[in-house]
């Protein structure tokens, strides 16, 4: 007889997701990065899947702890399943992984694995090196028998995004990577080379340029871990036209800056085979909704402002796949 606890457990294969191992192998072989887009609601999920089907790109659907709490873990599981059924109906099959972004405890990672996630990140980068290894290995030991991929992290990114908040960056030390990967058994490694979370990635003075990413650190890591999947977090480009549109329609966002797209293009051709983008999606959605509210102040039907936001998201994700990450046309 099935218990209540057992009935809540489902594997990602039952839902139709894939883990990231084959995704990353193909991306590294062909020289592109798999997009990892965060979502919190139905419109974002629809936009991500629609854009990736149109551009025939593999995709990693990312969910943070905060997004999972916001959407409800059970509802989120079936939203993901529903998105895959929608994909089948449209007749454009693409590989889709469901990934926990910045899991901070073993219990959270375990809960996500048991509810159908095909990949999890355990972010213990803020802990001492030995403790980071121990916690990451504990997650790996639970995930791998279930064929779930695990992403670890070395180095700390500055910025704020959901529960993740750090005032200063701490670059990844290349001398740590071999020991970390060997002792933990992770499938991919998130590193810190100058990207940052949120829309306010850098505190720049007027006329000051965004500092370049530390490709020297990436290249050193590539030599020590040849052919190993590397991940970049905090890789939104924060387009200034979106900031201008938000501010034009009643917003107040100042001194924002993101990662230049040419640097992301360079990273995508290296061993970086997963690039995380969240803030750009938030900006696109906010700009579109604010525009409707200002131009049509009497509008109160959510479909009339969430719909245009969804359409703008589709355009943005497809553009990222084609012009930045190089993932379009890979399926």
Q: Please, which contacts does 293-302 make with residues 24 or more away whose CB atoms are closer than 8 Å?
A: 293/249, 293/250, 294/249, 294/250, 295/249
Question: Which residues make Cβ contacts (< 8 Å) with residue 3, sequence separation at least 6?
Answer: none
Contact 195, 201 (CB under 8 A): yes
Query: Is 101 labeled as catalytic in the residue annotation?
Result: yes
Q: How far is CA 321 from CA 174, 206, 225, 265, in A?
A: 29, 31, 26, 11
Is 295 strand, coil or helix? helix
Residue 5 exposed, middle or buried by CB count within 10 Å (0-12, 13-18, 19+): exposed
DSSP state of 118: S
> Tokens 């990273």 identify what position?
267
Report the C-alpha gap between 132 and 128 in whole angstroms: 6
Is 274 strand, coil or helix? strand
Q: How far is CA 153 from CA 119, 156, 302, in A?
A: 14, 8, 39
Question: Which one is catalytic: 69, 101, 123, 319?
Answer: 101
Contact 147, 194 (CB under 8 A): no
12 DSSP β-pair partners = none
Q: What does the angle CA 41 – CA 149 – CA 80 come to, to the nearest 5 degrees?
A: 25
Strand bridging mode 272-277 / 188-191: unpaired
Q: What are the catalytic residues?
A: 101
């Amino acid at each position: 007889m099935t218990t209540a606890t057992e009935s809540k457990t489902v594997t990602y294969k039952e839902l139709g997701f894939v883990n990231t191992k084959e995704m990353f192998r193909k991306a590294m072989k062909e020289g592109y990065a798999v997009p990892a887009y965060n979502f919190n609601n139905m419109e974002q999920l629809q936009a991500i899947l629609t854009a990736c089907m149109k551009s025939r790109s593999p995709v990693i659907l990312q969910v943070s702890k905060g997004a999972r709490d916001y959407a409800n873990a059970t509802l989120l599981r079936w939203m993901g399943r529903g998105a895959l059924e929608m994909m089948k109906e449209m007749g454009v099959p693409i590989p889709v992984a469901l990934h926990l972004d910045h899991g901070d405890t073993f219990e959270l990672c375990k809960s996500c694995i048991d509810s159908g996630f095909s990949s999890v990140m355990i972010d213990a980068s803020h802990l001492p090196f030995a403790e980071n290894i121990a916690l990451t290995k504990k997650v790996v030991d639970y995930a791998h028998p279930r064929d779930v991929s695990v992403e670890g992290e070395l180095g700390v990114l500055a910025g704020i995004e959901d529960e993740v908040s750090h005032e200063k960056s701490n670059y990844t030390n290349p001398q740590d990577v071999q020991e970390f990967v060997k002792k933990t058994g992770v499938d991919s490694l998130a590193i810190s080379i100058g990207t940052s979370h949120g829309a306010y990635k850098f505190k720049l003075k007027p006329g000051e340029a965004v500092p370049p990413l530390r490709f020297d650190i990436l290249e050193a890591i590539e030599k020590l871990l040849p052919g190993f999947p590397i991940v970049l977090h905090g890789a939104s480009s924060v387009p200034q036209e979106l900031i201008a549109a938000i501010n034009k329609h009643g917003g107040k966002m100042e001194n924002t800056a993101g990662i230049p797209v040419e640097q992301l293009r360079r990273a995508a051709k290296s061993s970086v085979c997963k690039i995380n983008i969240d803030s750009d999606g938030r900006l696109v959605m906010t700009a579109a909704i604010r525009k409707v509210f200002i131009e049509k102040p009497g509008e109160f039907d959510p479909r009339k402002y969430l719909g245009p936001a969804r359409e703008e998201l589709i355009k943005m994700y497809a553009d990222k796949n084609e012009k930045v990450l190089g993932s379009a046309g890979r399926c």
